[in-house]
């Protein structure tokens, strides 16, 4: 492959999204590679305004996540995690339990040992909105395996995640909660 063709191939991969993996180098293959999908609709906990939709989709060995939130604190970073229980009934989000941790790891950032449910923090803009898309490894969608995100609780926190404090990241109150549901 000469340099021009290589650049074209790179551009094609970029057009597919950064999650394009070797087996999805063409649009048709990418469509085949897209696996089960799940959605969490996040609702505000008592006294809060944060809400939104988060979509999870299996792509080969990783999961793509697309999040859209409103009602966050403007210009604030918000801790964001999958928690072990798909239960938002308590009003304060505490019924969702601790961070989803099927592999018994410490809390941490994506580039170090971390709970399977530890996600990159959401960054709210000046209007309190946040959009994010990223990839996860070590989790699955609809697999029925211990790493399956379906049936888990998804939580947005009031404060940033320090990715250090065990086992929570010290990200404060739970301001939105939703259950990850197979689409």
Structure tokens at 22: 């070797």
Sole binder of Cu ion in the list 59, 78, 81, 152 (CB under 5 A): 81
Cα torsion 49, 120, 118, 134: sign: positive
Residue 118 touching Zn ion (CB under 5 A): yes
| Cβ atoms of 89 and 36 closer than 8 Å | no
- Residue 163 CB, shortest distance to Cu ion, in Å, is 12
| Spatial separation of the C-alpha atoms in residues 113 and 129, rounded to whole Å | 29
155 binds, among Cu ion, Zn ion, none (CB under 5 to 8 A by kind): Cu ion
Which range, of 34-42, 104-112, 136-144, 155-163, touches Cu ion by CB under 5 A?
Answer: 155-163
Residues 6+ apart with CB under 8 A from 44: 50, 51, 71, 175, 176
The catalytic position among 78, 114, 118, 152 is 118
32 is catalytic: no
| Cβ atoms of 54 and 40 closer than 8 Å | yes
Residue 78 touching Cu ion (CB under 5 A): no
At residue 53, the 3 state secondary structure works out as: strand
174 is catalytic: yes
| Spatial separation of the C-alpha atoms in residues 94 and 84, rounded to whole Å | 11
99 is catalytic: yes
Sole binder of Cu ion in the list 20, 54, 155, 176 (CB under 5 A): 155
- Write out the residues near Cu ion by the rule CB under 5 A: 81, 155
* Residues lying near Zn ion in the complex (CB under 5 A): 99, 107, 115, 118
* Catalytic sites, residue numbers: 81, 83, 99, 107, 115, 118, 157, 174
């Amino acid at each position: 492959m000469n340099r021009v063709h290589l650049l074209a191939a790179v551009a094609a991969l970029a057009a597919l999204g950064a999650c394009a993996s070797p087996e999805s180098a063409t649009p048709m293959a990418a469509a085949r590679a897209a696996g089960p999908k799940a959605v969490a609709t996040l609702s505000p906990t008592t006294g809060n305004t944060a809400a939104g939709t988060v979509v999870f989709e299996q792509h080969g060995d990783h999961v793509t996540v697309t999040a859209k939130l409103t009602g966050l604190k403007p210009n604030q970073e918000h801790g964001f995690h999958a928690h072990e229980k798909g239960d938002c009934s308590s009003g304060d989000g505490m019924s969702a339990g601790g961070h989803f941790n099927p592999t018994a790891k410490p809390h941490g950032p994506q580039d170090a040992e971390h709970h399977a449910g530890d996600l990159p923090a959401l960054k709210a803009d000046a209007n309190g909105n946040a959009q994010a898309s990223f990839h996860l490894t070590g989790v699955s969608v609809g697999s029925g395996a211990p790493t399956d995100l379906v049936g888990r609780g998804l939580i947005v926190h009031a404060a940033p995640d320090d990715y250090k404090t065990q086992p929570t990241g010290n990200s404060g109150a739970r301001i939105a909660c939703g259950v990850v549901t197979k689409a």
